């Protein structure tokens, strides 16, 4: 038995050595590193590497402590690229020329954008009604007499009672025109519309990357709500989108997203709607929720409000984020290594971003893979002695308190003796 334990211990030590590396003296305070696998053709050129999400388990938020060093131990400038999926939105308000109600049918709003109207691809309905879900038709015209329907049936909704803003924007396909007509199918009465506007949205095509997380069904006190909790592998992990898959055929549900550091107190992060319905022989669906990227939270909670409908069936939840890429200038026949895991390091600033082509329109740089993570064998903790050994500080504090107490007792005894003698 003793020989087996010794053999296992030896294998463990060998395994640790196999996944560890020495760093030059200047970089010993970085706890982890990954080699850049050089597959270049031996020429000097910019190259690109993509950061694996596993790195975020050991680096600072946003990988602010990340550095690149070459085989000579010199720091190599780099540019971290994050192709934002944020949309550039241009909008124009329409002048309402008609706001009427056809009894038992629909509310009709006609807007005029003027002769010099902008190009647009969606229409937004402005209303102060707090809670609703209705269907709307969008038609366009060049003369306000002949109309062409560009969207026969699209949902708009809001659920402020659930802290869900929903969507009041209707996308369509087709040429934009001066006049637009919206019919809101709510036979119960005139739907309150305070204005309409048109929008044109431009967003670069960004390929998201799935984020590692464990997703479990969470118990909810509200039987009309289905809840899932996602546990991220690291609180530093960025997340910007949640995707839902289900085999339910037709539905329209409001959803709300919250986050938490410890799983007890939750903060609102975003909301939206997911739906699937059939129209004109086609299936129309929206099964993802986008929200501003953030970090420093270990848990995410997704709530789907079912009201009186049956919960969605066979639901799968996945999380995604925009990948991080590093671009740096590679020199032929030189090796490179990414180092990270130094809580005292600040974000590096280089001139490279000012003269290196980057962004979505950049040239196609050669992408190099990264090797496995390696612990720094000659690691030196960058924290001060008192932070590395807090027990020493507490011990010194205890001794100081004891000495102060002894001094106080001695002083009191001396004062008592003097009083007795007098």
Structure tokens at 68: 């690149």
Q: Given this model, what pLDDT does residue 201 score? A: 79
Whole-angstrom distance, CA of residue 383 vs CA of residue 95: 63
Q: Given this model, what pLDDT does residue 404 score? A: 82
Phi/psi for 322 (5° steps) reads -75, 125
Contacts of 339 (CB under 8 A, 6+ apart): 23, 27, 30, 32, 33, 66, 67, 68, 69, 376
326 band by pLDDT with thresholds 50, 70 and 90:
very high
Bridge partners, 156 (sequence order): 134
Q: For tokens 């001396």, what's the residue?
A: 414
pLDDT at 291 over 90: no
Structure tokens at 368: 């190099």
Q: Strand pairing of 374-376 and 20-21?
A: parallel
CATH class of 88-202: mainly beta
52-67 residue pLDDT tens: 999 999 999 889 999 9
Kindly report which listed range (6-10, 77-81, 199-203, 217-221) carries the lowest average pLDDT score: 6-10
237-289 residue pLDDT tens: 999 999 999 999 999 999 999 999 888 899 999 999 999 999 888 899 999 99
- Helix boundaries (H) for 102-155: none
Q: Given this model, what pLDDT does residue 219 score? A: 80
Whole-angstrom distance, CA of residue 303 vs CA of residue 301: 7
Whole-angstrom distance, CA of residue 134 vs CA of residue 132: 6
Whole-angstrom distance, CA of residue 139 vs CA of residue 64: 50
339 and 66 in contact (C-beta within 8 Å)?
Answer: yes
Structure tokens at 26: 């200047």
CATH class of 209-321: mainly beta
Q: What percentage of residues in the chain have a pLDDT greater than 70? A: 84
What strand order describes the sheet that includes 169-171?
Answer: 88-93, 195-202, 122-126, 169-171
Pinpoint the residues of the chain covered by CATH 2.60.120.260. Answer: 88-202, 209-321
* Length of the chain (residues): 422
Whole-structure pTM value: 0.77
Count the neighbouring beta carbons within 10 Å of the beta carbon of residue 165: 16
157-192 residue pLDDT tens: 999 998 999 999 999 988 889 999 999 999 999 999
207 band by pLDDT with thresholds 50, 70 and 90:
confident
More confident residue, 373 or 116: 373
Contacts of 219 (CB under 8 A, 6+ apart): 227
């Amino acid at each position: 038995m003793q020989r087996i334990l010794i053999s296992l211990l030896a294998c463990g030590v060998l395994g640790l050595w196999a996944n560890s590396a020495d760093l030059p003296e200047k970089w010993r305070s970085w706890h982890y590193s990954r080699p850049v696998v050089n597959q270049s053709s031996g020429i000097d050129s910019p190259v690109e590497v993509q950061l694996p999400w596993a790195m975020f388990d050991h680096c600072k938020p946003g990988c602010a402590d990340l550095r690149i060093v070459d085989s000579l131990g010199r720091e190599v400038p780099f540019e971290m690229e994050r192709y934002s999926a944020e949309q550039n939105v241009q909008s124009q308000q329409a002048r309402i020329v008609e706001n009427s109600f056809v009894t038992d049918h629909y509310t009709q709003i006609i807007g005029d954008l003027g002769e010099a109207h902008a190009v647009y691809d969606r229409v937004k309905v402005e209303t102060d009604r707090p809670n609703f879900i209705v269907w709307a038709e969008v038609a366009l015209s060049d003369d306000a007499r002949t109309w062409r329907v560009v969207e026969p049936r699209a949902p708009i909704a809001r659920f402020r009672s659930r802290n869900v803003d929903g969507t009041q924007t209707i996308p369509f396909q087709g040429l934009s025109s001066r006049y637009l007509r919206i019919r809101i199918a709510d036979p119960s009465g005139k739907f309150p519309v305070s204005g309409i506007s048109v929008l044109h949205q431009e967003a670069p095509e960004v390929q998201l990357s799935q984020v590692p997380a464990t997703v479990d069904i969470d118990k909810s006190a509200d039987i009309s709500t289905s809840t899932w909790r996602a546990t991220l592998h690291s609180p530093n992990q960025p997340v910007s989108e949640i995707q839902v898959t289900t085999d339910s055929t037709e539905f329209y549900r409001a959803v709300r997203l919250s986050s938490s550091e410890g799983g007890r107190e939750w903060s609102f992060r975003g909301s939206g709607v997911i739906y699937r319905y059939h129209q004109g022989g086609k299936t129309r669906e929206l099964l993802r929720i986008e929200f501003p990227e953030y970090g420093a939270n270990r848990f995410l909670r997704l709530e789907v409000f079912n009201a009186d409908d049956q919960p969605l069936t066979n639901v799968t939840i996945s999380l995604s984020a925009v990948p991080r890429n590093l671009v740096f200038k590679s020199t032929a026949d030189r090796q490179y290594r990414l180092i990270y895991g130094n809580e005292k390091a600040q974000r590096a600033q280089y001139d490279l971003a000012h003269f290196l082509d980057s962004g979505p329109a950049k040239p196609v740089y050669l992408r190099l893979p990264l090797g496995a993570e390696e612990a720094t064998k000659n690691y030196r903790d960058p924290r001060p002695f008192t932070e590395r050994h807090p027990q020493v500080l507490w011990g010194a504090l205890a001794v100081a308190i004891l000495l102060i107490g002894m001094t106080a007792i001695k002083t009191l005894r001396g004062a008592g003796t003097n009083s007795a003698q007098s």
